[in-house]
Amino acid sequence: MTDQDKIKQVVKNAFIYMKDNNLDFSPESYLEAFCKQAKLFNLNSNECNWYSRWSNKFDSNIKKELNNYPIKNRDDFINTLSSIINSQSSLNSTYCMNVLEKALKVLKNQKIIDIDPKLPLESIDKKLTDLLISNSNHLFNLMHSTGLLTKNDISSKAHLIDGYALICDICCFDSIKEQFGLEALEKLFNAFYRILLNSVDSSASIGVYEDSSIVILLPKCSIEMATKYSKDIEQAIKNSKFIYENRDIDIEIHLDLLPIKDLKL
């Protein structure tokens, strides 16, 4: 069985697992079921291995503190940092504060969570809360169903190549979620992502840039060819019809073209 066949079987098994266990369907519950099934097939998934990749960046003291909490996904991870804040506030624990400061410093340096560890506790807690609230709209929750690269992956690639980058700002994420729901948002994003894949060369890398924007790295690409890709994407979006449950969804994008070296990563 090829890896592609295994992935198809894992996807099927994940849905069966959720149905048999009467689980509510959500991006989080599906990802958890998918990772359980992927493990049975010895398949490695970046989305399933996120915690080991992040936690390996910490020293033994931070790992020890994090092990006191049940961390299953990114929201749990952010909640854990918030819990460390609360315990520090109530217990006045210098140790917990040091752990928090080290963890936030590592995450900031790795461009995972951009929070200054030197901020007052109240400010850090507010920023973590804002992250939790906004996370349901973040492209992070949509990456598991595509080959979309993380911002950290994009940053690593961008430092190794020359060429141009296309930044695609997607409008209306919040209003689409409110009007049509998360499932519609995910299907819309998948369709949009396929358009991007079909509009650029196979050497391009596509990943997260900001909360509602995607960046396309075009290595060794001339300004003329990059401009052509930009126009092709705009035309493809205009010619596409996005429908969910027999209702039209309006989508608009704004494209910026700039040298890869000028990206803010």
Contacts of 192 (CB under 8 A, 6+ apart): 170, 237, 251, 253
Q: What is the mean pLDDT of residues 3-16?
A: 79
Note down the domain range covering 146.
139-262
User: Are 119 and 174 in the same domain?
Assistant: no
User: Are 157 and 237 in the same domain?
Assistant: yes
Per residue in 204-260, pLDDT (tens digit) is 999 888 766 889 999 989 999 999 999 999 998 888 888 888 888 887 888 999 999
User: Are 70 and 21 in the same domain?
Assistant: yes
How high is the pLDDT of residue 180? 79
Q: Does pLDDT of 137 surpass 50?
A: no
* Sole residue written with tokens 């807690």: 125
Q: Could you tell me which residue, 137 or 6, shows the higher pLDDT? A: 6
User: Are 112 and 60 in the same domain?
Assistant: yes
User: Are 94 and 204 in the same domain?
Assistant: no
Least confident of 41-50, 159-168, 232-241, 255-264: 41-50
CA distances from 265 to 82, 103, 260 (A): 25, 20, 10
* Sole residue written with tokens 């995972």: 112
Per residue in 67-116, pLDDT (tens digit) is 666 666 666 676 676 666 666 555 455 666 666 676 777 677 766 677 77
Contacts of 40 (CB under 8 A, 6+ apart): 10, 13
CA distances from 147 to 36, 105, 120, 165 (A): 19, 28, 38, 18
Tell me which of 135, 162, 177 is where a domain ends: 135
User: Are 120 and 224 in the same domain?
Assistant: no
DSSP 165: E
Q: Could you tell me which residue, 224 or 156, shows the higher pLDDT? A: 224
Tell me which of 135, 159, 174 is where a domain ends: 135
Tell me which of 135, 158, 189 is where a domain ends: 135
- The strand pairing partners of 219, in sequence order, are 163
